[in-house]
Amino acid sequence: MKKYFGALIAVTGLLFASCSSDDDGLALSTCVDGVMNGDETGVDCGGSCESCESGVVAPDTYVFTRDDASTVSFSGQTIRLKMGQELLANFTTPTNTIDDLIGMFAHVEGGIDFEEDALNVSDKNLRSKVAASADYFSTNATNQALIRADLEGFINAQVEEVYPNWEVAAEAGVAGQLADGDRTRYVSANGLEYNQLFAKSLIGGLMTDQMLNNYLSTAVLDEADNIANNDGDVVEEGSSYTTMEHKWDEAYGYAYGLNADQANPNADLGADSFLNEYIERANSDTDFEGLADDVFNAFKLGRAAIVAKNYEVRDQQAEIIKENISKLIAIRAIFYLQNGKLGLAGETPNYGSAFHALSEAYGFIYSLQFTRKPNSTDPYFTKDEVDAFLIDLLDDGDNGLWNVEEITLDSISEEIASRFDFTVAQAAE
């Protein structure tokens, strides 16, 4: 299958340009795979032919400096990713209370909610950034409140429905535990694994929404005097970066904030349980191989464009990231719907495996409302469409996933795939 995740760049196939080779000054005429050709050597354009035309060339790694000091900063994103990791780990500790888990979600500075002191003294939390993007929620307080209530609802239900039945064998209409190979899953009476609903919904409601609809939004990047200050290299007080540089970095942090090598994160993908993990998962599928490079390269080139004051190239790279991350959400929703269908097949269904996958699918479907169509102000699916999918997923009988039918899983999968340029079969591998 053709690698399509970089397809948003306006240049496709052969691009005619008039760059000059640093080696011999000969005019270069065509661009193929990021190299301008026309003489015997060509010029490497850093993976993008736009680089030769615009003069913007991405560095090999995500390293940017001013006066020998790094201008890259996304510590707030790293803190929130750590908070999310610890909260998820605590979902499966049945001695926790609602206050314990909500404390991690809606942390207040100085609260003793986490193992790491740096998180406890932080004034940051997860809840305040859920459904908080400038583009989607600055004028939509109603949906913001509903979405935050949904995530808090998953926490409450885990404590109130699942914890009391921790040692009970789950069955239709009864919460409890299910075997999944050598693992144990803990599900509601409807078969829902709330930690998976929470984790995958958080990927959309926080990481994706903040990245695509906030920090990569022109409303945020170009807010107030950001363009003038960036043009004049006016940095934020006490910092080495301009506001525009910092906003772009904060988007980057939601993907790579926990990587050991944050300047070259594709070397150790899977560093968290959120976007980073699923960039790696999708990229490992041969149908979507190259996704990780497309995202990382767009982040690098877009950041280099900010340094070069080239906002057209910056915005082109933002659109590439929006398309990639949105497709990633859809790919994983379909993957888990189809994986769940496999677990339910045959005379002896593996309910533990199937419900685990379908709970992940539920969260990724929920996250579709935070995706972003390239060159658009709209998500690929509205909240109403997402809510309808989730109702269908649980509406084939009185006991939710215990009664879900293959035709329902296939129908939702096909409808999701129809908005993108890949098939259900490709996403299901």
Give pLDDT tens digits along the chain (429 positions). Answer: 434 334 333 333 323 333 333 333 333 445 555 555 544 444 555 555 655 666 899 999 999 999 999 999 999 999 999 999 999 999 999 999 999 999 999 999 999 999 999 999 999 999 999 999 999 999 999 999 999 999 999 999 999 999 999 999 999 999 999 999 999 999 999 999 999 999 999 999 999 999 999 999 999 999 999 999 999 999 999 999 999 999 999 999 999 999 999 999 999 999 999 999 999 999 999 999 999 999 999 999 999 999 999 999 999 999 999 999 999 999 999 999 999 999 999 899 999 999 999 999 999 999 999 999 999 999 999 999 999 999 999 999 999 999 999 999 999 999 999 999 999 999 998
Listed in sequence order, the residues at least 6 apart from 155 whose beta carbon sits closer than 8 Å to its beta carbon are 91, 98, 101, 102, 105, 194, 198
Question: Looking at the chain, how many residues does it have?
Answer: 429
Beta strands in 130-181 (DSSP E): 176-180
Tokens standing for 372? 């972003």
Instruction: Give the whole-angstrom CA distance, residue 41 versus residue 57.
Output: 18
Q: Are 84 and 202 in contact (CB under 8 A)?
A: yes
* Exposed e or buried b per residue across 85-101, where buried means at least 16 C-beta atoms within 10 angstroms of its C-beta: bebbebbbeeebeeeeb
Instruction: Give the whole-angstrom CA distance, residue 124 versus residue 116.
Output: 14
Query: Residue 35: what pLDDT?
Result: 53
Which residue in 212, 220, 332 sits closest to 281, CA to CA?
A: 332
Tokens standing for 419? 């908005």
Helix axes 406-417, 351-367, angle to 10 degrees: 30
Query: Residue 19: what pLDDT?
Result: 39
Distances (CA, A) of 187 to 168, 348, 350, 405, 409: 10, 19, 14, 19, 19
Listed in sequence order, the residues at least 6 apart from 356 whose beta carbon sits closer than 8 Å to its beta carbon are 180, 185, 193, 196
Instruction: Give the whole-angstrom CA distance, residue 165 versus residue 167.
Output: 6
Backbone dihedral angles phi then psi of residue 65, each to the nearest 5 degrees: -135, 160
In the Cβ-directed half-sphere of 426, how many Cα atoms lie within 13 Å?
A: 20
